């Protein structure tokens, strides 16, 4: 809710409450294209009073004095009340908002400790487009939550443990540490993994060694552990390289891999068993959280310890939940994980709650997302059918953006060209990712995401550049108070006034696409304003006011893109 919306609704709510006799009456106020705001609450009131909606609306408006805020009230026959806000009110509120470094974004009323589990790639395996989604969405959520004042604890739950490590260590020994390091650091992780796997399948001797190695690693044998560390460290170096290229906040200190929980796993199973939550089934230890059934209606097991005594993915997630609600003191735990893991996470969470490790007050949420599709609407793959390496995708984005930028601004010097190509290329990928409702699948489409038209990263970056270039030409920012008059000025101002409320709403639903839509609306309103209202050629004080509106646009676009993790260069 913007402050303007707040003022309007606190002005009308008492009238609705008094006339309806319902102290909680909460009329709905929304932005409208027909006027500025539409007030929609006369319908239930009309029923209570047994009068027409129009009559009900008229009674409300007779009893409130909105003259300080509104200069036109129209009541439609259906009882909708159309409000046109006074120009001076819009101007004053926007002046206030732009003078505030928070640009109208309010701090959360209740500051929380929020754990965000995201990115979580796997050691000695390539990062793919699924990891792109969780990394970008998680990064934006972290930025927004921090802005609202929450304490955010990033947890990069990398896959760094399990039976494949026996084979991976033996393969490392076969080809030597130096070769391994070379492969893993340049990112031929899949090649390394595949070669190990092939040997494992073809060579019984190697398979045998690998199995013995797993046992020795699990028993904490020093040599095995230090070889495992080589694999993990090399991979982490590679992940950080990808993160740097992506411009996300994740740091090595955010890594809390599966192996971190190893020592806690025996306690997890023992305590589950002591609580009577474990059933043995074919030698495996299973939990059956309430409410989960198979397709045929049988209770669905969550395997905590396999029949060979090994712990799996679920045990680690249970230990992690316990650790986050306990040691980390989380009030909220967010899992930015693909939709296919919905049931796994729900079962782990249900079990952890039944065990009393995650009390009711601690909120958990699976911030799920859909798949990335190719142009054929099938899972995104290379032409050869392999999964696409994230790093290749990023390099290609920067390369393609470089061409687009060169066409648009042939005169940029090479240094500047490179950094702008990076901002535009990476920004394009991020925006394409974030601007679609995350639960939906989306089609990875270079032509669309790199276009300077439509709801794209480059379009928004360009709107920001255009605003900045006007301000540069003017030689100074707007200094006189804003005074909106023209319809295009009013529309832009109202859009800017909605910024703070939009951020609050977007984070409440973990929905960065709402912020994208809003920023796109700001950029479009700015384009319309720029088309119809001369800025630099206007006379004072109109010129100053329009420059201030232009500067407000630049500030909001830059800040909003920043919350999405997207750079906003001053030139392009």
* Least separation in angstroms between CB 130 and ligand ARG: 7
Site string (58-97) toward ligand ARG, x via CB under 6 A = ----------------------------------------
Residue 4: name the closest of 100, 71, 104, 80 by CA. Answer: 104
Full DSSP string of 465-526? HHHHHHHHHHSS---SPP---SHHHHHHHHHHHTHHHHHHHHHHTT-HHHHHHHHHHHHHHH
The phi-psi region of residue 143 (left if phi > 0; otherwise alpha if psi is between -120 and 50; otherwise beta) is alpha
* Least separation in angstroms between CB 159 and ligand ARG: 4
Q: Which is nearer to ligand ARG, 228 or 499 (CB)?
A: 228
* Least separation in angstroms between CB 225 and ligand ARG: 21
* Least separation in angstroms between CB 336 and ligand ARG: 8
* Least separation in angstroms between CB 265 and ligand ARG: 14
Is 122 one of the binding residues for ligand ARG (CB under 6 A)?
yes
Q: Which stretch binds ligand ARG (CB under 6 A): 120-128, 183-191, 297-305, 397-405?
A: 120-128
* Least separation in angstroms between CB 134 and ligand ARG: 8
Using an 8 Å Cβ cutoff, are 350 and 290 in contact? yes
Q: Which is nearer to ligand ARG, 79 or 121 (CB)?
A: 121
Is 332 one of the binding residues for ligand ARG (CB under 6 A)?
no
The separation between CA 11 and the C-alpha centre of its own chain, rounded to angstroms, equals 35
For strands 302-305 and 37-40, give the pairing: unpaired
Q: Which is nearer to ligand ARG, 131 or 558 (CB)?
A: 131
Site string (294-323) toward ligand ARG, x via CB under 6 A = -----------------------x--x---
Q: Which is nearer to ligand ARG, 55 or 233 (CB)?
A: 233
Q: Which is nearer to ligand ARG, 125 or 417 (CB)?
A: 125
Q: Which stretch binds ligand ARG (CB under 6 A): 119-127, 350-358, 434-442, 553-561?
A: 119-127
Please select the residue that binds ligand ARG; options are 8, 116, 120, 164, rule is CB under 6 A. Answer: 120
Residue 125: name the closest of 194, 77, 50, 78 by CA. Answer: 194
* Least separation in angstroms between CB 157 and ligand ARG: 4
Q: Which is nearer to ligand ARG, 40 or 316 (CB)?
A: 316
Strand order in 332-335's β-sheet? 151-155, 113-117, 332-335, 363-366
Q: What residues from 337 to 356 belong to the interface with ligand ARG (CB under 6 A)?
A: 337
State the Rg of the chain over Cα: 28
* Least separation in angstroms between CB 234 and ligand ARG: 17
Q: Which stretch binds ligand ARG (CB under 6 A): 36-44, 64-72, 73-81, 113-121?
A: 113-121
* Least separation in angstroms between CB 521 and ligand ARG: 34
Is 269 one of the binding residues for ligand ARG (CB under 6 A)?
no
Q: Count other C-beta atoms under 10 Å from residue 179's C-beta.
A: 12
Using an 8 Å Cβ cutoff, are 317 and 328 in contact? no
Q: What residues from 431 to 470 belong to the interface with ligand ARG (CB under 6 A)?
A: none
Is 397 one of the binding residues for ligand ARG (CB under 6 A)?
no
Q: Which is nearer to ligand ARG, 124 or 542 (CB)?
A: 124
Q: Which is nearer to ligand ARG, 57 or 352 (CB)?
A: 352
CA distance 343 to 345: 5
* Least separation in angstroms between CB 122 and ligand ARG: 5
CA distance 151 to 143: 11
CA distance 507 to 143: 10
SS (H, E, C) 390-448: HHHHHHHHHHHHHHHHHHHCCCCCHHHHHHHHHHHHHHHHHHHHHCCCCCCCEECCHHH
Q: What residues from 138 to 167 belong to the interface with ligand ARG (CB under 6 A)?
A: 157, 159
For strands 81-85 and 37-40, give the pairing: antiparallel
Is 117 one of the binding residues for ligand ARG (CB under 6 A)?
yes
Q: Which stretch binds ligand ARG (CB under 6 A): 114-122, 235-243, 518-526, 529-537?
A: 114-122
Helix axes 542-563, 499-508, angle to 10 degrees: 10
Q: Which stretch binds ligand ARG (CB under 6 A): 115-123, 287-295, 352-360, 364-372?
A: 115-123
What sign does the dihedral 274-276-280-285 (CA atoms) show? negative
CA distance 543 to 537: 7
Using an 8 Å Cβ cutoff, are 438 and 513 in contact? yes
Q: Which is nearer to ligand ARG, 13 or 157 (CB)?
A: 157
Q: Which is nearer to ligand ARG, 117 or 323 (CB)?
A: 117
CA distance 386 to 379: 11
Per DSSP, 365 falls in state: E
Q: Which is nearer to ligand ARG, 126 or 498 (CB)?
A: 126
Q: Which is nearer to ligand ARG, 292 or 452 (CB)?
A: 292
How many chain residues touch ligand ARG (CB under 6 A)? 9
Full DSSP string of 192-223? HHHHHHHHHHH-HHHHHHHHHHHHHHHTT-HH
Q: Which stretch binds ligand ARG (CB under 6 A): 116-124, 143-151, 416-424, 471-479?
A: 116-124
Q: Which is nearer to ligand ARG, 317 or 332 (CB)?
A: 317
Geometric angle at alpha carbon 344, from 340 and 346, rounded to 5°: 105
Using an 8 Å Cβ cutoff, are 476 and 550 in contact? no
* Least separation in angstroms between CB 239 and ligand ARG: 12
Binding site for ligand ARG (CB under 6 A): 117, 120-122, 157, 159, 317, 320, 337
């Amino acid at each position: 809710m913007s402050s303007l919306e707040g003022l309007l609704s606190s002005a009308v709510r008492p009238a609705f409450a008094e006339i309806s006799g319902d102290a909680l009456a909460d009329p709905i106020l929304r932005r409208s294209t027909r006027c500025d705001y539409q007030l929609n609450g006369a319908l239930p009131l009309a029923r209570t009073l047994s009068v027409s909606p129009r009559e009900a609306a008229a009674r409300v408006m007779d009893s409130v004095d909105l003259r300080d805020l509104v200069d036109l009230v129209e009541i439609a026959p259906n009882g909708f009340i159309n409000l046109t806000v006074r120009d001076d009110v819009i101007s004053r509120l926007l002046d206030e908002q732009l003078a505030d470094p928070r640009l109208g974004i309010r701090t959360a009323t209740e500051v929380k400790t929020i754990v965000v589990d995201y990115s979580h790639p796997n050691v000695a395996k390539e990062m793919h487009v699924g990891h792109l989604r969780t990394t970008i969405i998680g990064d934006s959520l972290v930025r927004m939550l921090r802005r609202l004042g929450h304490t955010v604890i990033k947890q990069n739950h990398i896959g760094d443990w399990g039976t494949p490590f026996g084979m991976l260590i033996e393969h490392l020994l076969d080809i030597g540490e130096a070769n391994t390091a070379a492969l893993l650091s340049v990112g031929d992780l899949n090649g390394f993994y595949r070669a190990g796997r092939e040997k494992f399948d073809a060579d019984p001797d190697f398979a045998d060694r690998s199995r013995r190695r797993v046992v020795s690693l699990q028993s904490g044998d020093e040599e095995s552990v230090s070889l495992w560390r080589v694999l993990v460290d090399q991979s982490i170096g590679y992940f950080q390289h990808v993160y740097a290229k992506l411009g996300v906040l994740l740091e090595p200190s955010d890594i809390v891999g599966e192996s971190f929980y190893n020592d806690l796993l025996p306690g997890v199973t023992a305590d589950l068993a002591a609580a009577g939550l474990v059933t043995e089934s074919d030698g495996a230890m299973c939990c059956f959280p309430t409410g989960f059934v198979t397709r045929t209606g049988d209770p669905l097991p969550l395997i905590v310890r396999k029949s060979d005594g090994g712990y799996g993915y679920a045990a680690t997630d249970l230990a992690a939940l316990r650790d986050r609600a306990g040691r980390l003191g989380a009030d909220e735990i967010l899992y930015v994980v693909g939709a296919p893991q919905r049931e796994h996470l729900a079962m782990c969470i249900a079990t952890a709650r039944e065990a009393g490790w995650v009390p009711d007050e601690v909120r958990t949420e699976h911030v799920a997302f859909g798949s990335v599709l190719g142009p054929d609407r099938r899972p995104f793959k290379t032409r050869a059918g392999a999964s696409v390496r994230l790093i290749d995708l990023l390099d290609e984005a920067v390369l393609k953006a470089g061409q687009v930028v060169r066409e648009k601004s042939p005169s940029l010097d090479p240094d500047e060209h490179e950094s702008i190509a990076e901002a535009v290329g990476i920004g394009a990928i991020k925006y394409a990712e974030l601007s679609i409702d995350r639960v939906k699948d989306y089609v990875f489409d270079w032509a669309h995401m790199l276009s300077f038209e439509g709801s794209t990263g480059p379009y928004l970056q360009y709107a920001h550049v255009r605003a900045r270039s006007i301000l540069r030409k003017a030689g100074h920012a707007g200094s006189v108070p804003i005074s909106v008059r023209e319809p295009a000025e009013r529309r832009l101002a109202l859009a800017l006034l909605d910024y703070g409320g939009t951020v609050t709403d977007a984070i409440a639903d973990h929905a960065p696409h709402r912020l994208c839509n809003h920023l796109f609306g700001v950029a479009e309103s700015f384009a319309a304003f720029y088309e119809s209202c001369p800025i630099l050629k206007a006379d004072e004080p109109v010129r100053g006011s329009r420059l201030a509106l232009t500067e407000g646009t630049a500030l909001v676009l830059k800040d909003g893109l920043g919350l999405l993790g997207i750079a906003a260069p001053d030139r392009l």
